[in-house]
Amino acid sequence: MINWSPEQPIVSIHNVHKSFGPLEVLKGVSMDIMKGEVICIIGPSGSGKSTLIRCINALNDIQGGSITLEGQEVHDEKLDKLELRKKVGMVFQQYNLFPHKTVLENVMMAPIKVLKESKVEAQKRALELIKKVRLDGKENSYPGELSGGQQQRVAIARSLAMRPDVMLFDEVTAALDPETVKEVLITIQDLAAEGMTCILVTHEMAFAREVADHIYFTDRGVIVEHGSPKEFFDNASDPRTKEFLSQVL
């Protein structure tokens, strides 16, 4: 049995190496995330942010190091990846909703098929979640009939329906119009306030500053610097961080 208690990191990433063929994308990345924390990962494009969070729910494999979730090694050959993914929700930049299903069906599908919930039970919870992401009234719309911001909130509700312990967000506002970015950020902020463990890749600096407990700055496959938002934004020491911040702030 795995001995894990909530005082230990819920996600522990230790010296992770990841290559695509000859290209080494992660060169020894480590971070510990405690239950209920909100972590923001920022860094230039191509620095391996998406790759890192995709390793957490085993969408990518790793070549070295370890990642544990609640004490369980994620990249253990014997681990049932489907069991792991029940505990980790993921929201993508491009929403990736099921276009042939209504909002309600999108949210209900995984609980029914994966958790074997009854239809009644799944629907009740789906309606609550749709309300929570402020989309009540859109239950029977198809994704193609919604704005980007609305679709992204459906994607968040769809992930939450699996009752995950950790949520991963990969630049979830990057494809949105400026007006709709805010509604998605508010939804994430609500989640964080309820104590959901969130790992976000984001370029929304003001949001990171306000919501994050901890910020990691990555560049070319390594973590250059990390700290609280205050330390990070006001006292960045590494020249690469300074340069990046001067460009985005």
Partner 1 sequence: MSSFEEFFIQLAVDFPRWNFIWLYDDLQADRILSGLWVTVKLSLACVSLSVVIGVVGAMLQGSNSSRVRALVQGYIQFFRNTPPLVQLLFFYFALGQFTPTEVGPDGWTEQPLITNVGWAIIALSLFAGAFNVEIFRAGIEAIPYSTREAAESLGMSQRQTFFYVTLPLSLRVSIPALNNNLVNLVKTTTQAYAIAVPELLYESVSVWNDYPSAQNPTMLLLFLAYLTLVGILVFCMNSWEKSMRIPGYGH
Residues of the shown chain interacting with ligand ADP in the complex, contacts defined by CB under 6 A: 20, 23, 25, 45-51
59 binds, among ligand ADP, Mg ion, partner 1, none (CB under 5 to 8 A by kind): partner 1
Phi-psi group of 85: left, alpha or beta (phi > 0 → left; psi -120 to 50 → alpha; rest → beta): alpha
In which element (H, E) is residue 154 found?
helix 148-160
Q: How many other C-beta atoms are found inside a 10 Å radius of the C-beta of residue 32?
A: 15
Q: How many other C-beta atoms are found inside a 10 Å radius of the C-beta of residue 58?
A: 19
Site for Mg ion in 223-242 (CB under 5 A): none
Least CB distance from residue 176 to ligand ADP, whole Å? 17
Q: Token digits for 58?
A: 């085993």
Site for partner 1 in 81-140 (CB under 8 A): 82-83, 85-86, 88-90, 92, 94, 96-100, 109-110, 113-115
Residue at token pair 């969408």? 59
Q: How many residues in the shown chain lie near partner 1 by CB under 8 A?
A: 31
Residue at token pair 């070319």? 220
Is residue 143 part of the contact set for partner 1 (CB under 8 A)? yes
47 binds, among partner 1, ligand ADP, Mg ion, none (CB under 5 to 8 A by kind): ligand ADP
Q: How many other C-beta atoms are found inside a 10 Å radius of the C-beta of residue 55?
A: 23
Q: How many other C-beta atoms are found inside a 10 Å radius of the C-beta of residue 3?
A: 6
Gap between the Cα atoms of 12 and 71, Å rounded: 8
Q: How many residues in the shown chain lie near Mg ion by CB under 5 A?
A: 1
Please identify, using beta-carbon distances, which residue of 110 and 172 lies nearer to Mg ion: 172
Please identify, using beta-carbon distances, which residue of 1 and 23 lies nearer to ligand ADP: 23
57 binds, among ligand ADP, partner 1, Mg ion, none (CB under 5 to 8 A by kind): partner 1
- Cβ-based neighbours of 233, under 8 Å, separated by 6 or more: 205, 209, 215, 245, 249
Please identify, using beta-carbon distances, which residue of 139 and 213 lies nearer to partner 1: 139
34 binds, among Mg ion, partner 1, ligand ADP, none (CB under 5 to 8 A by kind): none
Burial 168-193 (b: 16+ CB within 10 A, else e): bbbbbbebbeeebbebbbebbbebbe
Q: Single out the segment in contact with partner 1 by CB under 8 A; choices: 16-24, 44-52, 157-165, 223-231.
A: 157-165
41 binds, among Mg ion, partner 1, ligand ADP, none (CB under 5 to 8 A by kind): none
Cα–Cα distances in angstroms (integers) from residue 99 to residues 37, 46, 92, 141, 216, in the given order: 32, 29, 15, 10, 34
* Residues 118 and 61: beta-carbon distance below 8 Å: no
Task: Rule CB under 5 A: choose which of 12, 47, 50, 150 binds Mg ion.
Answer: 50
Q: Which parts of this chain interact with partner 1 (CB under 8 A)?
A: 57, 59, 82-83, 85-86, 88-90, 92, 94, 96-100, 109-110, 113-115, 141-146, 155, 158-159, 162
Q: Which parts of this chain interact with Mg ion (CB under 5 A)?
A: 50
